[in-house]
Amino acid sequence: MSYRRRLTVLLLGVLLLLSGLSVTGASARSKPTWVGTWASVPTATPASGTRTVTDVTVRQVVHASAGGDQVRLRLTNEFGSTPLRVGEVRVALRAGTGTDIDPRTDRAVRFGGQRSVTVAAGAPIISDAVPLRVPAYADLVVSIHLPERTTVSTVHGFAYQRNALAAGNVTGDRSVTPAETLTQWWFLSGVSVLSPQPRGAVVALGDSITNGAESTVGANRRYPDLLAQRLRRTGVLNLGVAGNRLLHDPNPPVGHPAESYAAYFGQSALRRFDRDVLGQPGVEHVIVLLGVNDLGHPGTSAPVSETVSAEEIIAAHHQLITRAHQAGLKIHGGTILPFKGDTLGFWSQENESKRAEVNHWIRTSAPYDSVIDFDTALRDPADPLRLHPRYDSGDHLHPNDAGMAALAATVPTHAFR
């Protein structure tokens, strides 16, 4: 064989090999994958707010991010001390703006092939796959029948969504007559989809600002909802919870009014990280916006003895970064927003100094994969220690709808591709 012919054969072989690798890579990328499309942080309920219900359906609206062709639900009894009996669960696409469903999309949800299930105390449960095409940014309605006397032990206290509680098993009804309107999610903490064109999931780990505090109820204007529209085909999971701290669980002083609500603040970010971040289907990225409650709670809704230093907050961030990188995730650090003049009593010159130190570290020294400078984006140029009036909900700590849009616009989307 001549040299030219051998060279031609060799080149053809290389081209065929590269072509095979390309097809294999494309095939791997296009393989349908389970990705989280919605999530919330489960918490305990305050002792004073404990309630029981019997033979009711709780009908709950959730806003998807990524779309897919099949659905799985994550029910949770993680703060229950007794088994949770569930009579039936159904899922459908929402019709209109209330809790009505599109009956053409109504599907029964099974667990190990069974329609009814008992969820062990202290545990979650994942459903079987449900064939249901979910468009990106669609609203789903999840209806859960609780046939027996049930203590409502595991909830997400601030849903910023109107849900319905109705008598009897009306899980399959097109519309229900609410005995009560709820702005919580009960016993439901996750929805994942089988995505034909997966781009993974992003977890927004945070406190009330991430959770959507002061945004318009029912309008899906929380910053993670708006970010999902920018990232396209990516699951964006809101794992923010009001009052959350990096370093401490809720611990209201005895006799303080916070005893009636502090349980809704959830376990510390360091404690819940494995469940709320590493446990999410398809997660690839984490955005962290935490620290303001570590500064503001001691002396307001937590004991003064839980006062933390800037160094302790930085050490907590270091732990989140280390644990994310150990799991192969990319993690992005958000600077703490300004809160001078807040109506909750958080601000002091000492807390401002700590905030400045933590933000300087995030901007200049933190081993985050990228920095998201929420502080610079939302502060008032005339007084950088305050929220810009345009973005202020009125309490000088939580952004309004315009502020939520500004938070979402600040996230550099190229960091997630």
φ, ψ for residue 25, nearest 5 deg: -65, -45
What are the CA-CA distances from residue 83 to residues 35, 78, 150 (Å)?
28, 10, 9
d(CA 144, CA 128): 15
Domain boundaries, the chain: 40-192, 199-417
Buried b / exposed e over 325-336, threshold 16 CB at 10 Å, is eeeebbbbbbbb
d(CA 406, CA 399): 9
126 near 39, Cβ under 8 Å? no
Closest CA to 212 of 410, 405, 416: 405
Residue appearing with tokens 């809160």: 339
pLDDT at residue 30, as a whole number: 65
Q: C-alpha angle with apex 118: 139 to 276, nearest 5 degrees?
A: 50
Amino acid at position 15, single letter = L
Pick the CATH number of 199-417 from 3.40.50.1110, 2.40.30.60, 3.80.30.20, 3.20.20.70: 3.40.50.1110
What DSSP designation does 156 have? E
Which of left, alpha, beta for 363 (phi over 0: left; psi -120 to 50: alpha)?
alpha
pLDDT at residue 199, as a whole number: 85
d(CA 89, CA 144): 5
Q: Token pair for residue 246?
A: 């990096």
pLDDT at residue 291, as a whole number: 98
pLDDT (tens place) for every residue of the chain, 417 residues total: 444 555 444 444 434 444 443 333 334 446 899 999 999 999 999 988 889 999 999 999 999 999 999 999 999 999 999 999 999 999 999 999 999 999 999 999 999 999 999 999 999 999 999 999 999 999 999 999 999 999 999 999 999 999 999 999 999 999 999 999 999 999 999 999 998 887 899 999 999 999 999 999 999 999 999 999 999 989 999 999 999 999 999 999 999 999 999 999 999 999 999 999 999 999 999 999 999 999 999 999 999 999 999 999 999 999 999 999 999 999 999 999 999 999 999 999 999 999 999 999 999 999 999 999 999 999 999 999 999 999 999 999 999 999 999 999 999 999 987
Is the whole model's pTM more than 0.85, yes or no?
yes
φ, ψ for residue 89, nearest 5 deg: -135, 135
394 near 402, Cβ under 8 Å? no
Q: Residue 101, SS3? A: strand
223 near 185, Cβ under 8 Å? no
pLDDT at residue 15, as a whole number: 43
70 near 196, Cβ under 8 Å? no
Query: What is the Cβ-side half-sphere exposure of residue 235, based on CA atoms within 13 angstroms?
Result: 32
d(CA 204, CA 287): 5
d(CA 267, CA 250): 7
Q: Residue 175, SS3? A: coil
Q: C-alpha angle with apex 366: 312 to 408, nearest 5 degrees?
A: 100
